[in-house]
Structure 1
Amino acid sequence: MLFSEHNLTLRPARYGSIEVICGSMFSGKTEELIRRLKRAQYARLNVEIFKPAVDKRYDEKLVVSHDSNSIPSTPVENSSAILLLSSATQVVGIDEAQFFDDGLTEVCVKLANSGIRVIIAGLDMDYKGQPFGPIPSLMAVAEHVTKVHAVCMQCGAPANYSYRLTDDTQTVLLGEKEAYEPRCRQCYYHLDQQGHSRNQR
C-alpha cells in the first residue's frame, strides 16, 4: 500500500511500545530495568518510574536492585494511579509489576498506544511455580520480552524458579535470601529444603 502525504500526517510523532523483563528472584530483573531507564535519562527523555507501595524492602521510594543500584520512583497503590501520573512522559518504568492489580495490562496498553515506551520488570511465576499477577498478560501484549535467569543455589544451573525457604503459604511474601533461593527446574521440583531428593525419601 502506498502512503499519501495525507496518510503520513496522521501518523503519531512517537511510537509507544511495551517491554517486559521477567524471571525468578535474584535474576537481575530490576538491574536491567534500571539500566534501560538510566539510558533513557542520558538521552534526556522524560522518564517516570513507579513501584507498588507495598514494596518497602530496601527503600520506600527508590527502586533498588540486589546489587544496590537504585533510581528514584513514585510508589503507587494501584495501576490506575500510573495513568494519572504519566502525563507528558516519554518513558514509563514499572518495577515489581507482579504485585499490581490485573488492570495494569490495560494501563500499559493505553500508555503505549499514546506513544509512551513502557518498561516493566517482575516475577513471571510465584513460589508455587504458577503465573504471577498481570505478568503473563503483559508478556502477551508486549513487543519485547526478556527472560533473565539466576543461578540455581543447589546445582549452579540457570534458574528460573523462586523456591520459598519458609513454611509461609501466602502468595505475596516480601523477602530476600532468608525467604527465597533461585532454583532450576530439576532442583525446584525434586529437592527438599535440605537438598535431598524428594523421590528418594
Structure 2
Amino acid sequence: MTRLCTGGRIEVICGCMYSGKTEELIRRMRQVMIARQPCRIFTPRRDTRYSVGHVASHTGAKLEAYPVSSIHEVLAAADDVQVAAIDELHFLEDRPEEILAGCQALADRGLRVLVAGLDQSYRAEPFPGMMQLMAVAEQVDKLYAICVRCGAYATRSQRLIDGRPAPADAATLVVGGLELYEARCRACYEPAC
C-alpha cells in the first residue's frame, strides 16, 4: 500500500536583483489563496521600498504581508497556516543557522515554506542563510535578470554609489532599488574593490 506523504517542504526562489523573485512568490501565493489554503506572507520590517504591510514587486504587484524582523516572529505567527511565505529572507536579522533551523522547524510542522531572496551579496558572495536553505530545500528555483549593459542573462547585483561600483567595505545589506542596484552578467559585473 502506498502511503500519502503530507509532510512539509521548503521551496527557495533566489536570484539577483530584478530577476522576479518577489513576483514569483506572489504568483505562487495567489495559487495558494485560490486553493483556499490557510496562509501567511511575511516581509522584513526594514524593507519599506514600495509598501509597508505588503510584499511588493518592482512591477507593482503586491499582497498583504506581516512585517517581521526575525525568523522567531515567523515561527510564532505561523501556527494556524498550511503555507508560510517569507520574502527578502536575506534582510532578516537572524544568524544563518537560526534561519535554517526556523525554516526547517516550519517544514517539520507540515507547512509548505516558500522563501524568496538574494542568493549573492553585491560582492558576488553567497548569502549564508540562503546558501544553507538551498542545500536542504525540496525545490530551488534560481531566476535571472537581464544585464543592463549587454542584454545577457544577469546573475549578479551590482551596487552603485554615485554611479560607480560600491567599495568592498560598504555595508552588505542596503535596501534600495534602481538608484542603487543594477542587474549584471558575469562579464559586465565589476567586483567591489
- Tell whether the structures are fold-level matches, with TM greater than 0.5: yes
User: Of residues 5, 15, 38 in structure 2, which corresponds to 1:23?
Assistant: 15
CA distance in 1, matches of 2:118, 2:69: 18
SS at match of 1:119: strand
SS at match of 1:50: strand
Shift of 1:59: 1.1
Closer, same or farther: CA 136–55 of 1 in aligned 2, 3 Å: same
Shift of 1:65: 0.3
Matching of residue 145 in structure 1 with residue 107 in structure 2: no
CA distance in 2, matches of 1:40, 1:67: 21
Amino acid at match of 1:119: L
Contact 1:151/1:183, CA 8 A, preserved across alignment = yes
CA distance in 2, matches of 1:52, 1:74: 8
Structure-to-structure mapping, 1:1-201, within 5 angstroms: 14-100=6-92, 101=94, 102=96, 103-166=98-161, 167=166, 169-189=170-190
Residue 195 of structure 1: aligned partner: none
TM superposition outliers: structure 1 runs of 4+ over 6 Å = none
Shift of 1:135: 0.5
Deviations 1:125-152 (A, max 9, x none): 0000011141100101100000000000
CA distance in 2, matches of 1:173, 1:116: 30
CA distance in 2, matches of 1:69, 1:44: 20
CA distance in 2, matches of 1:119, 1:23: 14
TM-score normalized by the length of structure 2: 0.90
CA distance in 2, matches of 1:24, 1:152: 11
If you compute each CA radius of gyration, which structure gives the higher value, 1 or 2? 1
Contact 2:20/2:143, CA 8 A, preserved across alignment = yes
Amino acid at match of 1:124: D
Deviations 1:162-195 (A, max 9, x none): 00111471111111011000000011048x9xxx
Contact 2:158/2:190, CA 8 A, preserved across alignment = no
Identity among equivalent pairs (%): 43
Residue 198 of structure 1: aligned partner: none
SS at match of 2:30: helix
CA distance in 2, matches of 1:81, 1:175: 24
CA distance in 2, matches of 1:127, 1:133: 14
Q: Which runs of 5+ in 1 are unaligned?
A: 193-201
Question: What is the root-mean-square deviation in Å for CA atoms of aligned residues?
Answer: 1.7
CA distance in 1, matches of 2:115, 2:104: 12
